[in-house]
Chain A
Amino acid sequence: MIRSQKFWIAVCAVIFAAGLAWSIILLTMSHGDKVTVTRDGVVLYTLDLSKEPDREFTVEYEGRKNVVEIKDGRIRVKEADCPDHVCVRTGWLTAKIPIVCLPNRLVIEYADSDLDAVAG
C-alpha cells in the first residue's frame, strides 16, 4: 500500500515537473531573439540571435543569391543580386518589420512580436 502510494506521488511529481519545465520553455521563448529565415514559404533556419556567433551565410534561389550577415546579435541581408535591393536597404532586422527579398523569395523575421500583422 505504502509502496503504491509512493509510486503515484512520484508519477505526479514527474508530470508536475514536466509541466513546469514546459511552461518555462514557453515563457522564455516568447521573450527570446528567435528569428526565422524562410525561402519560398519554407523555413530554412530558426536562429536564436542571442546565441549565434558572428557569421555570414548565403541563401540561393534559382541561382540568385542573398548574403545574410549575423553580427553582435543582429541580422541583415548584406549583399544581394536581386535587381531592387530592397532587402539590403531594409538594414538590420527590427522587431516589427520583416526583411523581404521578393525576387529571391526570402523572408527574415522575428518569431515573436506584439503585432498580429503589419500593413504595407
Chain B
Amino acid sequence: MKKLLCLPIAALIMLCSCADSSSEHIKTLYCMDTHMTLKAYGDKAEAALEKAVGTLVDLDAKWSVTNTDSEIYKVNHAGGGTVQVSPETSELVSFGRDMYEKSDRTLDISIYPILLEWGFTIHYYKVPAQERISKLLWNVNASKIGVNSSGVTVPADMMIDLGSVAKGAASDMICGELRKAGVESAVLDLGGNIQTLGSKPGSGKWKIGIRDPEGSGIIGSVSVENKAVVTSGGYERQFTENGKTYHHIIDPSTGWPAESGLVSVTVIGDSGRMCDALSTSLFIMGAEKAYHYWRKTGGFDYIALTKSGELLVSSGIAEDFDLDKDHKNIKVTVVK
C-alpha cells in the first residue's frame, strides 16, 4: 500500500519537472522611444526584472531630450549655466564628451540641433538648406561640454542628446543590477541594443540575430555570452525625398547623413554603452577607417555590411558568426 503511494508522488514530481521552462521571466515596455524586452531566468528573476523596469523608466525621465522635467532638458535650456544632475547623468555626459575625441570626432552628442532640423527626432522629415546646416554646425562640438562635481554645462547655443549612448548605458546598468540581485542568466533587448548576462540556461551561448537592412529577416547571427551586441544602420530611421533616401546617422563633420559605403555596423563587446557609441562611429567612418580604428584600439569586435554586399567580420568574432541560410550569396571577409 505504502509503495503504491509513491507512484502518484513520483508522477507529480515528473509533472513538475516538465514545467522547468517556466522559470523564464519576460517583461516588455515602451521606454526611451523604443520597444524593450527583458528576459531573465531563475527564481530571482521576477523581482529583479520589476526593479529593472523601474530603473529604465527613471533613466528615461532623466535623459529624455523632449521631456521638460528631464535633467538633459534642463541642461539644454540653462542658457549656458551649470545644472546640477544625478551621478548617472553626469557620468554618461562625461563618457559621451570623451567619446568625441576617442572616436576621431565621429560621435558627437551635441549633434542634436541638426537631427532636429532634419526632423528625425519627431518623425517629421525634411531636407534642410545647406546654409542652415552650416550655421547650426558652428555650435556642434562636444569638447565644449563641461562636466565637474558641480554639474553639467553646455554653451548657450548648444544642445546635447544622449540618444546615441543611452540605451547601451541603460543596458549596462540594469545588467549590473540583475547580476547583483543574483540573476545568472538574462538577455536584454532595448530596441535592438542587445545585452546578455551569463549564458543561456541549458544550451550555452545566446544566439543573437543581426538584422538584414534590406529585408525583414537577418543576415546572420552571433553566439555570445556576457556581451553586448549593438547594430547601427541607416534603415532604422530614414525618408525619401525627390528619389533620394536620407537616413538618421548624421556625420558631425558635414551635418549630412553619413555616406561611408556601409549599410550597417554591429559592434560586440563587454560594455553596452561603448558598443552603442562605436556602432554609430564605425558606420560614419566607413570600412577602411573602421578597420584601422579597430586595429588601433581593440577591446571589441565588429561586423560591417558594405553597400556592395560584402560582410566584414573581425577575427575575434568570426568563429561565433553564422551567415543566415537565405544569405549565402553574401561574401564574408574575415579581417585580422
Could you say which of A83, A97, A107, A119 has the most chain B C-beta atoms within 10 Å of its C-beta?
A119
Cβ–Cβ < 8 Å partners of B7 in chain A: 8, 12
Contact of A103 among B29, B123, B208 (CB under 8 A): B123
Contact of A26 among B18, B33, B124, B207 (CB under 8 A): B18
State the Cβ distance, A10 to closest chain B Cβ, in Å: 10
- B150-158, B172-180, B228-236: which lies at the A interface? B228-236
Could you say which of B21, B207, B230, B239 has the most chain A C-beta atoms within 10 Å of its C-beta?
B207
| Measured CA separation A81–B28 after assembly (Å) | 24
State the Cβ distance, B174 to closest chain A Cβ, in Å: 15
Cβ–Cβ < 8 Å partners of B18 in chain A: 19, 22-23, 26
Q: Does B64 contact A (CB under 8 A)?
A: no
Interface class of chain B by DSSP: strand
Number of A-B contacts (CB under 8 A): 123
Q: Is the CB of B8 within 8 A of A83?
A: no
Known: A84-B123, A84-B239, A116-B206. A8 touches B216 (CB 8 A): no
Q: Is the CB of B208 within 8 A of A118?
A: yes
Known: A19-B15, A41-B28, A83-B124. A118 touches B209 (CB 8 A): yes
Could you say which of B8, B29, B33, B212 has the most chain A C-beta atoms within 10 Å of its C-beta?
B8
| Measured CA separation A119–B211 after assembly (Å) | 6
Q: Does A91 contact B (CB under 8 A)?
A: yes
| Measured CA separation A90–B214 after assembly (Å) | 10
Cβ–Cβ < 8 Å partners of A105 in chain B: 30, 35
Cβ–Cβ < 8 Å partners of A96 in chain B: 209, 216-218
Q: Does B72 contact A (CB under 8 A)?
A: no
| Measured CA separation A96–B210 after assembly (Å) | 10
Tell me the residues in window 14-53 of chain A with beta carbons closer than 8 Å to chain B beta carbons.
15-16, 18-19, 22-23, 26, 38, 40-41
Chain B: residues with Cβ within 8 Å of the partner, total of: 51
Contact of A114 among B189, B207, B231 (CB under 8 A): B207
Q: Is the CB of A119 within 8 A of B192?
A: yes
Q: Is the CB of B35 within 8 A of A102?
A: yes
Q: Does A58 contact B (CB under 8 A)?
A: no
Cβ–Cβ < 8 Å partners of A9 in chain B: 4
B residues within 8 Å of A by Cβ?
1, 4-5, 7-8, 11-12, 14-15, 18, 21, 28-30, 33-35, 37, 39, 123-125, 187, 189, 192-194, 196, 200, 206-213, 215-218, 221, 229-231, 233, 236-237, 239, 264, 266
A residues within 8 Å of B by Cβ?
1, 4-5, 8-9, 11-12, 15-16, 18-19, 22-23, 26, 38, 40-41, 82-84, 86, 90-94, 96-97, 99-100, 102-103, 105, 107, 114-120
A-B contact pairs, 29 of them (CB 8 A): A16-B11, A19-B14, A22-B15, A38-B35, A41-B28, A41-B30, A83-B124, A83-B125, A84-B239, A91-B216, A92-B216, A94-B216, A96-B209, A97-B217, A99-B216, A102-B123, A105-B30, A116-B39, A116-B187, A117-B37, A117-B189, A117-B208, A118-B209, A118-B211, A119-B208, A119-B209, A120-B192, A120-B231, A120-B233
